[in-house]
Amino acid sequence: MRVLEGESLSVPPLWMMRQAGRYLPEYRKTRAQANGFLDLCYTPDLAVEVTLQPIRRFGFDAAILFSDILVVPDALGQDVRFEEGHGPRLEPIDPARIGEFAGKDVVGALAPVIETVGRLREELPSETTLLGFCGAPWTVATYMVAGTGTSDQGPARRLSLGDPEAFGQLMDILVEASTAYLVAQLEAGADAVQIFDTWAGVLDEEGFRRWGIEPVRRIIEGVRAKVPGAKVIAFPKGGGARLAAYSEGTGADAIGLDWAVPLAAARESVGGKALQGNLDPMRLIVGGKALDEGVDSILEAMEGYPHIFNLGHGITPDTPVEHVEAFVKRVRGL
């Protein structure tokens, strides 16, 4: 939280995207108790346990709520399911029926998730930051339109260009739902929130401004209208050369970086705001010299700058636990 206020620390705070996940044996054991992935997200006993597991094992400086970005379309009434080995499957939306998603009580539908947040704040050590999150409207919309993940998010791009009015209506609904959802998480005990825009990098310049920057700006403004001073991290994967526009346009307190972003350029782009990232997850898989060199390079580049150490994207299931242990020690100078 001090870094989000703009303070530079000699040892940067550390957490990892997807830190509570399939690389941990204790996660797999807990996962087996649930009747599917969404059941895991919607069962507070299990979601609390999964969120706490990496804190117990590694002592990260932040715990991030165990959930998924697609709980929002599920709460809106879209058919969402997760198939083992294939990931999310949604019933693709009919553009003519987008209006049926409007006005839904998303916070009420996600009451189990909000309960999880409140219980986590009670159970976490006082020094451990609790992060809530949601998906950015653009990224969530790509799954809603296509019904699954695709390599270039062509279905959503086609709809946004071919019928911008219908797509804009969908984005308005997601802005409203995401704002209410983040406010509820903060009011339940989250210290800060992160907005994940995993597919921002597939948009052209105009699309990035209209569908990447503007909806996130509206969410952040809406959240702060209800929770003054709320701290928000925004992660535009693939944002690259557009980081300056994204940082200024969204008003986020900190910008998450993928591993392809040069840190010197990022520092110049965001006007002194905190940065988060950006170790290549592949270095964590390989370990050894590749991991050490990656960590040391980031520490050197970010010395004297407000920085939260993280990966450039989520940790993958094939990551050895001992490499994570080495990673934590290296960052902390142990």
Catalytic-role residue among 18, 157, 218, 283: 18
Q: What are phi and psi of 177, to 5 degrees?
A: -65, -45
First to last CA, the chain: 23
Within-domain flag for 119: yes
Supply the angle between the helices 288-301 and 321-331 in degrees, to the nearest 10.
30
* Dihedral of the alpha carbons of 321, 302, 128, 328, in degrees to the nearest 10: 20
Residues 6+ apart with CB under 8 A from 103: none
Number of domains in the chain: 1
Q: Which structural domain range is residue 147 located in?
A: 25-331
Catalytic-role residue among 23, 27, 143, 305: 143
Active site residue 18: yes
Gyration radius of the chain over CA positions: 19
* Cα–Cα distance, 317 to 141 (Å, whole number): 26
* pTM (two decimals): 0.96
pLDDT at site 87: 83
Within-domain flag for 17: no
Within-domain flag for 56: yes
* Cα–Cα distance, 137 to 156 (Å, whole number): 11
Catalytic-role residue among 39, 57, 68, 89: 68
Active site residue 31: yes
Active site residue 22: yes
CATH number at residue 122: 3.20.20.210
pLDDT at site 198: 96
Within-domain flag for 157: yes
Catalytic-role residue among 22, 89, 121, 330: 22
Within-domain flag for 8: no
Within-domain flag for 232: yes
Q: pLDDT 10s digit of each residue in the chain, 334 long? A: 999 999 999 999 999 999 999 999 999 999 999 999 999 999 999 999 999 999 999 999 999 999 999 999 999 999 999 987 778 999 999 999 999 999 999 999 999 999 999 999 999 999 999 999 999 999 999 999 999 888 899 999 999 999 999 999 999 999 999 999 999 999 999 999 999 999 999 999 999 999 999 999 999 999 999 999 999 999 999 999 999 999 999 999 999 999 999 999 999 999 899 999 999 999 999 999 999 999 999 999 999 999 999 999 999 999 999 999 999 999 999 8
